[in-house]
Every structure is written in C-alpha cells, then in structure tokens.
C-alpha cells in the first residue's frame, strides 16, 4: 500500500481482509451472484461505454463483482487496500487476462487523473473516515463524461420511526461486536445470521408467497437470498468498526460536490445505489 494513503482506518482494512479470507465467495452460486450483480448494476449505462473501455473497481474485495463487470470491458483495475482481500480476488479472477490488481486506498491509486472510462465502488466508501473525499478520489480518476456507480448504506430516510429504532439497537450491537477479537467477532456475526437474518428473511419469503409485500419488514431484502449471503453480510455488518450512513439527498450532494451530474438512483434495494456522470475536471 502506498505510504501517501490517508483516508482509511487500518483496523477496517484488516477486518475486511479477514472477512474475504473466510468468505471467498466460492460458495456463492453463479445464478445468485448474477442476480445480486444486476441489483447493483441495473442502473449502470454499460451501453454508453466506449468499445474498449478501461475502468476500476474501487474496493474490489473478493472480486465477486469484478468477475462479472470484467466481461463487459477491455480492462478492469481491481483496487483494494487489503493485501489479503487482493489475494482472494487474484484467485477468483485467475484466467481473466483483462484484470489488473492494485493494492492501495482510494486516495493513493497510482493511475493518472482523468484516465478511466468508468468506475464503481460498492459498499466501500461508507467505511472510510471521509466518504466525501473518497468519492472525490474515485471521480478524479475518471475522464469527463465517464459514469461512476456507488453504493452507500442508507440512513433509513424512507422508513418509519420504529424501523429506525430497531436499527439503532442493531448498531449498538455492531459497535460492541466489531471491537471483539476476530474469532469472537466471527462467531457473533454467524449467530446473528442464524438467529436474526434467517428468520426475518424466511418470514419475508412466506409473505411474498401469500401475496403480501414485505417491504416494511427488517431484512426483507434477504427473502430471496441464500444463507451464505446472509452469513457474509452479517460479518460485513457487525464486524466493521467504522460505518457511515447517508440519506438519498446527502448522497446526491456528495456526488455533485465530487463533480458528478445526471445523477440517477435505483428505486429498489439495496439502498442507496446511484450513478452519475463526471461533468467537471476535478
């Protein structure tokens, strides 16, 4: 990792290295991975990219999304601050000749500014000390007119007060669990997957089969997801010390400050996914 990196928390980087080593995504089926990929990338303008597009996955983790994004483009830089995560990504993307790996935080990527045809960062920038600067660092690498897709945790801006109260209780649990040693943190997250995620997810699935929309139910997003996805996300959720959450309006403001325009948001979970087009030389 380059020494100039500033916008990161070493404990968070270490935690994600542990997460992707434990959950290298080899157990994730191709069908489910494609379905979740489409949930994130449904608003991404693949058709607008140039014929030999070069872009970056900022915070590639295990490479699960890079494995599908790489099919659409000429060259993909897979960037992550964790050497352990990059080792997993290299294994998962072995044989993909158009993927190149860079160990760096988003503010220390050794690529020329204004050089990329597209970029994306999913579930990463809300774990940085300064999310606004993280977005700006990514956008700085894009050419003018290039799209940037981002997924940031939402602040339940469209949810009722009781839903937010449930989240506050879960966030207190996260703050406690994320400070435990890795093995204990892992065990606690897996218990949460089994005792909280799975029951709510299966209730959501049952409601759908009964013709009832479960939109207001916590964790309804996992109604059609495998237990493996729940286990992965539980460790991600409860094992990470640093987490920011934003409203849709706040995300749009940050994107515009970073030099993005023509911003569009996905209207289905996970919230919030947004894409913007670089319209300034930042």
* Structure token digits, residue 113: 């500014």
Give pLDDT tens digits for 3-48. 456 899 999 999 999 999 999 999 999 999 999 999 999 999 999 9
Beta-sheet strand order (sheet of 54-58): 99-103, 75-80, 54-58, 118-122, 147-151, 273-278, 260-265
Q: Residue range 116-122: average pLDDT? A: 98
Give the residue, 281 or 141, on which the prediction is more confident: 141
Q: Residue range 193-210: average pLDDT? A: 96
Check: CB of residue 275 under 8 Å from CB of residue 122. no
Q: What is the pLDDT of residue 27?
A: 94
Q: What is the pLDDT of residue 264?
A: 98
Q: Residue range 112-139: average pLDDT? A: 97
Q: What is the pLDDT of residue 3?
A: 46
**Confidence category of residue 95, pLDDT binned at 50, 70, 90:** confident
> Average model confidence (pLDDT) for the chain?
95
For a pLDDT cut of 90, what percent of the chain falls above it? 94
Distance in angstroms (rounded) separating the CA atoms of residues 71 and 67: 7
| Paired residues of 142 in beta bridges | 116
Q: What is the pLDDT of residue 41?
A: 98
Check: CB of residue 118 under 8 Å from CB of residue 148. yes
Question: Is pLDDT above 60 for 281?
Answer: no
SS (H, E, C) 180-203: CCHHHHHHHHHHHHHHHHHHHHHH
Q: Residue range 117-133: average pLDDT? A: 97
CA atoms within 13 A on the CB side of 10: 3
Q: Residue range 81-110: average pLDDT? A: 96
Q: Residue range 210-216: average pLDDT? A: 90
Our CA angle for 62, 248, 61, nearest 5°, is 5
If you average pLDDT over each of 4-8, 11-15, 116-120, 162-166, which comes out highest? 116-120
| Paired residues of 174 in beta bridges | none
Q: What is the pLDDT of residue 51?
A: 94
Q: What is the pLDDT of residue 282?
A: 52
Q: Residue range 124-153: average pLDDT? A: 98
CA atoms within 13 A on the CB side of 172: 5
Distance in angstroms (rounded) separating the CA atoms of residues 7 and 21: 23
Q: What is the pLDDT of residue 4?
A: 55
Give pLDDT tens digits for 224-244. 999 999 999 999 999 999 999
Question: Is pLDDT above 50 for 2?
Answer: no
Check: CB of residue 147 under 8 Å from CB of residue 279. no
* Structure token digits, residue 73: 């483009």
Lowest mean pLDDT among 118-122, 132-136, 179-183, 199-203: 179-183
Q: Residue range 61-71: average pLDDT? A: 97
Q: Residue range 178-190: average pLDDT? A: 94
């Amino acid at each position: 990792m380059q020494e100039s990196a500033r916008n990161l928390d070493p404990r968070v980087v270490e935690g994600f290295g542990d997460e992707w080593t434990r959950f290298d995504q080899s157990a994730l089926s191709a069908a489910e991975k494609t379905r979740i990929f489409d949930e994130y990338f449904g608003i991404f303008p693949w058709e607008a990219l140039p014929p030999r597009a070069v872009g970056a996955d900022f915070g590639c983790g295990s490479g699960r999304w890079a494995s599908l994004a790489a099919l659409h483009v000429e060259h993909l830089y897979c960037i992550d601050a964790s050497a352990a995560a990059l080792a997993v990504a290299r294994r998962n993307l072995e044989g993909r000749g158009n993927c190149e790996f860079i160990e760096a935080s988003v503010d220390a990527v050794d690529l020329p500014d204004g050089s990329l045809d597209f970029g994306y960062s999913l579930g990463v920038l809300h774990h940085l000390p300064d999310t606004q600067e993280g977005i700006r660092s990514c956008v700085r690498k894009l050419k003018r007119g290039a799209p940037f897709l981002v997924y940031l945790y939402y602040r339940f801006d469209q949810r009722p007060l009781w839903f937010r109260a449930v989240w506050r209780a879960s966030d207190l649990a996260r703050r406690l669990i994320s400070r435990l040693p890795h093995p204990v943190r892992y065990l606690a997250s897996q218990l949460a997957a089994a005792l909280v995620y799975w029951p709510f997810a299966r209730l959501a699935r049952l409601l759908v089969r009964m013709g009832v929309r479960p939109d207001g139910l916590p964790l309804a997003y996992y109604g059609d997801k495998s237990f493996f996805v729940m286990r992965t996300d539980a460790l991600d959720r409860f094992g990470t010390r640093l987490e920011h959450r934003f409203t849709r309006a706040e995300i749009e403001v940050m994107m515009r400050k970073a030099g993005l325009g023509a911003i569009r948001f996905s209207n289905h979970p996970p919230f919030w996914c947004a894409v913007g087009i670089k319209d300034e030389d930042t």
